[in-house]
Amino acid sequence: MDELASPRGLRLRAPRSLVTGLWLLVLVAVWAVAVRVLKISEFILPSPGSVLEWIATRPGYFLTATLSTLRLTLVGFGVGIAVAIPVGFALAKIRWLERALYPLIVFLQTMPLITIVPVLVIWLGYGLTTTSILVAFSVFFPVSVNTILGVRSIPHNLFFVTRTMGAGPIQTFQYIDWPMALPYLMSGFRISLAVAIVVAVVSEFIASNDGLGYVALRGVRNRDTVQIVAAVLIAAALGVIINSAAQYIEQMILKKYRE
C-alpha cells in the first residue's frame, strides 16, 4: 500500500536535466527576442548573444575566476564542516554544553551574515582568509545543527545493543553515533554546499579581489551590465553543477539508508 503513496511514477519520464535544459533554452530565446523587440538598451539588459560573446572572448579570465570561486567554496566548506562536526557531536553528547549553546546557535543562524563583513575585512583584510571564514560560517550552522539533530535522533536504546557486546566509547562512536548521524550530516552538507556557493560569490563581491564575485564587482565599477550578467550566469551554472554533484554523492553514500 505504500506504493500508492510514492510519487515515483513522476520520475520515470524524461530526465530532469533535459527538461531543465529545454526550459532554459526557451527562456534564453524569450530573453533574446525581448531585448530585440523591446529595444532594451545594453545598459539595462544585454542580449544573450553579447553576454556569450563577452564570455567567449575572455575564456581564461572567466576560467580563473570560476576556479577561484570553486576553491573558495571548497575551502570554506571544508573548514566549516571540520569545525561544525566535532562541535555538533560535542554539543549533542554533552548535555550542559548543548543547553548553553544550542539556542544560541539556532538564533545566530538567523543573523544576516553580510552585516559582519566590514568587521571581518578590517581585521583580516581582503582575500581567502576573510572570504573562507564567511563561507565557513554559513556552512557551520546547518551542518552543526544537523549533526546535533542526527545524534539526538538516535534512539537511546540503540546504545544498549553495543553495550551488551562490550563496546567501548570509540566502537560506540564508530558503530552507532557516526553512521546513525550520517544521513543528517549529508543533508546538512547538501544544504550548506548550496549556501556556500552563494556566500562565496557574495563575499568575493565585498571582500575579495578574485573570483566571480570580483568579476561582478568589476562589472559594477565599469558600469558594464554585460559583465555583471555574465558573472551571475556563470555563478548560477557553477551552483547548479555543484548542487547536482552534491546530490549525486549524497545518493551514493546514502544508498544503504534509502533505496
Partner 1 sequence: MLATDVKSPTMSPQFHLSSPLARFMPPVLVVIGSLILWEFGSEWFELPKYLLPAPSEFMNRFVTDRGVLAYNFSATAYVVILGFAIATAIAIPLGLAIASYPSLNHNLFPLIVFFETIPKTITAPLFVVWLGFGLSPRIALTAVMTFFPILLNSIAGFSAINPRLNYITRSMGATPWQSFRFVRFPSAMPIIFAGMKMGMVYAVTGCVTAEFVGANEGLAALILQAADYMDVQLMFAAIFATAMLGMLLTGILLGVERWLMPWRRDL
Partner 2 sequence: MADALEKRSVSITRLSGNVPQIHTTASTVKGTTPSLVEDGRRRFIAASELSKSFGGFQALGPVNIHIEEGEFVSILGPSGCGKSTLMLVVAGLLQPTKGHIEINGRVLKRSMTDVGIVFQDHLLLEFRTAFENVLLQQEIRGLDRNQIRKRAQELFGKLGLSGAESRYPRQLSGGMQQRVSIARALVHEPSVLLMDEPFGALDAISRTQIRHDLEALWMETRKSVLFITHSIEEAIGLSDRVLVMSNSPGRVVEEIRIDLPRPRPAYLGQYPEFAKYAQQIYKTFEKLGVYQFK
Partner 3 sequence: AEKMKVTLNWLPDNGSIGIIYADALGYYKDAGIDLDIEPGKGSGATSQLVAGGSTDVGLASASSAIGIASKGAPLKVIAPIYQVVDWGITSLKDTPITKPKDLEGKTIALAPGAADIPLFDTMLKLNGVDKSKVNIQMVSGAGGVPLLAEKQIDGISAAPGDVMIPLATKGIEAKQMFYKDWGAPLVGISLIARADKLEQNPELYKKFVDATLKGYSEVAKHPSAAVDALRERYPDAAPKEELMEELTKFDIPLFCTAGAPGIGAVPAATWTTTGEILTATFGSLGDGGIAAKHTESYLPAQLPACP
Query: Residues in the site for ligand ATP, rule: CB under 6 A?
Result: 1, 3-4
Member of 40, 45, 70, 126 binding partner 3 (CB under 8 A) = 126
175 binds partner 2 (CB under 8 A): yes
Of residues 14 and 122, the one with the C-beta less far from partner 3? 122
The site partner of 187 among partner 2, partner 3, ligand ATP, none (C-beta below 5 to 8 Å per kind) is none
What are 51's three cell numbers?
A: 553576454
DSSP conformational letter for 58:
-
123 binds partner 2 (CB under 8 A): no
Member of 176, 195, 199, 212 binding partner 2 (CB under 8 A) = 176
- Name the minimum Å distance from CB 156 to ligand ATP: 8
79 binds partner 2 (CB under 8 A): no
- Name the minimum Å distance from CB 145 to partner 1: 7
Stretch that binds partner 3, among 25-33, 80-88, 117-125, 246-254 (CB under 8 A): 117-125
Member of 1, 5, 44, 104 binding partner 3 (CB under 8 A) = 44
Chain residues 54-73 in contact with partner 3, contact rule CB under 8 A: 58, 61
Decide if 185 contacts 146 (C-beta within 8 A): yes
| Residues within the interface to partner 2 (CB under 8 A) | 1, 3, 155, 157-158, 160-167, 171, 175-176, 179-180, 182, 256-257, 259
| Residues within the interface to partner 3 (CB under 8 A) | 41, 43-44, 58, 61, 118, 121-126, 206-207, 209, 215, 217-218, 220-224, 227
